[in-house]
């Protein structure tokens, strides 16, 4: 029974790495029927958030997984991805940084690079949220000048 569970988890993780969240969702749902481990809960939460926009359900599954295994970087990665899907970029970056402190994880580093840093404002002497900076930045970005 554990070998079947391990196979389903491995197939699900592989599908997630390849970007196939629907396939991964099927594997993690099957694995959850066998046994609800923290890894299954965390990955299932991410898949639910990604495919069905069930952000609250996904977040609660990841948080419960983190409470059970606070040193597992995969749970931080999944929670950060859900936060990014919800439009909470700052929270996502903070969660990824917590995950890096626990244990170096190449996917966390890749995700941090993907989120990237913000570009400097067009007019550095004005605050970032000044309408002149805000709209000129959008204008230049739209035309590929930034």
50-106: per-residue pLDDT in tens?
999 999 999 999 999 999 999 999 999 999 999 999 999 989 999 999 999 887 689
Same domain, 94 and 123: no
Q: Which of 101, 42, 49 has the alpha carbon at shortest distance from 71?
A: 101
Q: What is the pLDDT of residue 72?
A: 93
Instruction: Please name the residue that has the structure tokens 């970007």.
Output: 19
Same domain, 86 and 108: yes
Same domain, 142 and 98: no
| Average pLDDT across the chain, whole number | 92
Domain of 18, in residue numbers: 2-115
CB atoms within 10 A of CB 56: 13
Q: What is the pTM of this model?
A: 0.81
Same domain, 94 and 137: no
Is residue 13 scored above 70 in pLDDT?
yes
CA distance 53 to 47: 9
Same domain, 145 and 92: no
Is residue 42 scored above 70 in pLDDT?
yes
Greater model confidence, 128 or 49: 49
For the segment 12-24, the average pLDDT, to the nearest whole number, is 95
Instruction: Answer whether 119's CB lies under 8 Å from 146's CB.
Output: yes
Instruction: Write the burial class of residue 15 (CB in 10 Å: 0-12 exposed, 13-18 middle, 19+ buried).
Output: buried
Total structural domains within the chain: 2
Q: Which residues contact 106 (CB under 8 A, 6 or more apart)?
A: none
Greater model confidence, 137 or 105: 137
Same domain, 64 and 98: yes
């Amino acid at each position: 029974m554990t070998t079947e569970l391990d196979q389903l988890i491995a197939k699900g993780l592989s599908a997630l790495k390849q970007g196939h969240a629907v396939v991964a969702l099927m594997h993690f749902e099957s694995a959850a029927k066998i046994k609800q481990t923290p890894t299954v809960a965390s990955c299932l939460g991410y898949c639910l958030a990604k495919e069905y926009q069930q952000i609250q359900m996904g977040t609660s599954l990841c948080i419960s997984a983190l409470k059970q295994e606070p040193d597992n970087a995969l749970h931080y990665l999944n929670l950060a991805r859900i936060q990014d899907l919800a439009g909470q970029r700052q929270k996502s970056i903070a969660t990824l940084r917590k995950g890096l402190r626990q244990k170096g994880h190449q996917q966390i580093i890749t995700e941090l690079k993907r989120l990237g840093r913000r570009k400097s404002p067009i007019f550095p002497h004005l605050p970032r949220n000044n309408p002149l900076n805000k709209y000129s930045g959008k204008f230049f970005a739209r035309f590929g000048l930034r």
